[in-house]
Amino acid sequence: MTPPGEVTEQVFSGLEGRPQLLVVTDCDHPSTAVEVELLEGAGFEVRVDQCSTEEEVIASCAGAIGLLTQYAPITRRTLDSLPTVRAIARYGTGLDNIDVEAAAEAGVRIVSAPDYATGEVSDHTIGLILALTRRIVGFDREVRLGIWDFRAGGPIHRTATLTLGVLGLGRIGSAVARKATSMGFAVRGFDPAVPEHQEVEIVGFDELLASSDVVTVHVPLSDTTKHLVDRRAIQSMRPGAFLVNTSRGGVVDEEALFLGLSEGQLGGAALDVFETEPLDPSHPLLASPNLIVTPHVGFYSEESLDELKREVAQRLLAEIKRESGSSLG
């Protein structure tokens, strides 16, 4: 029997003892040094690229056994053209750029980092909620224009009088609920997968919309959740309510949101995510004075970025080792 410490060398060596290839298809982080060091330390050859099309992925990843990807299109065509790929890891919590069904059919293992940045995203969400309810951005803008009037921002209500509706009670939604509760918000939640919650009153979708002063969105993007917050949902919200989205842009219908803001149904909104990123500077939403936008930065801290890189690299290595070990019998 091969000693466990030697399995890595056998599994991770290609033809004639040459290291097998892993490819970072794309990454917008300042550096890939952390993950490259981990992967090379495990005995792999690592190539770092910036692919944005199927053709670029196919050309760059020919012969690779594993991929580390961020936004590059890992489609059925891509996978069909890369038969040597056995595992793919994605920077982040979701799998938006990967055809998961095609990967499963091809026997390709898919992993991400579902637990990372919970603290950062929930903190960012709370910050956006307070920026809306305390009218912080509007006051800042007015002071710069020479307006010094506490009444100029409209009525502001004590946090303890407000109800926060949390749409989605996974790790991040639950963290937001806990933090908001500690600040005095009355918190309600809706999640079809969570019939009971120790810290949150569970209500139906329509009731959550109609009874909340602020609705914050924390659901993954899927065929079921795409445009979950649509024209009907926004019209069902309490007049003057606020909407926050730090999950996935496609969950909110941006055209419906624009109408809700311009018609006065909503008192304001705050978005960290958009249907198309980066957001076009000419996007109609940016003309809304009661909208706060941030550039999909909710996940970010120096600590979370380091954690993400290490986690996805280690998960990719574990999947390749598992796949290669099973093929060895």
Domain ranges for the chain:
4-115+303-328, 118-293
Domain 4-115+303-328 grouped into CATH 3.10.129.10: no
Check residue 7 and give its pLDDT: 33
H-assigned helices in the chain: 4-11, 33-41, 54-61, 76-80, 100-106, 118-133, 136-144, 171-183, 205-211, 231-236, 254-262, 302-328
Check residue 260 and give its pLDDT: 98
118-293: which CATH topology?
Rossmann fold (3.40.50)
37 is catalytic: no
Tell me the pLDDT of the chain averaged across its residues.
93
Check residue 115 and give its pLDDT: 87
Long-range contacts of 31-36 (CB under 8 A, 24+ apart): 32/309, 34/306, 34/309, 34/310, 34/313, 35/68, 35/309, 35/310, 35/312, 35/313
Q: In this structure, are residues 60 and 81 in contact, taking their beta carbons and an 8 Å threshold?
A: no
The pTM for the full model equals 0.88
Check residue 17 and give its pLDDT: 60
User: Chain centroid to CA 326: how far?
Assistant: 32
β-bridge mates for residue 267, sequence order: none
| Residue tagged active-site, from 248, 254, 311, 319 | 248
**Same fold for the domain at 4-115+303-328 and the one at 118-293?**
yes
Low pLDDT (below 70) residues in the chain: 1-17, 325-329
Check residue 267 and give its pLDDT: 97
Cα–Cα distance for residue pair 190/203, rounded to 1 Å: 6
18 is catalytic: no
Check residue 153 and give its pLDDT: 81
| Residue tagged active-site, from 29, 231, 296, 322 | 296
| Residue tagged active-site, from 199, 263, 277, 303 | 277
227 is catalytic: no
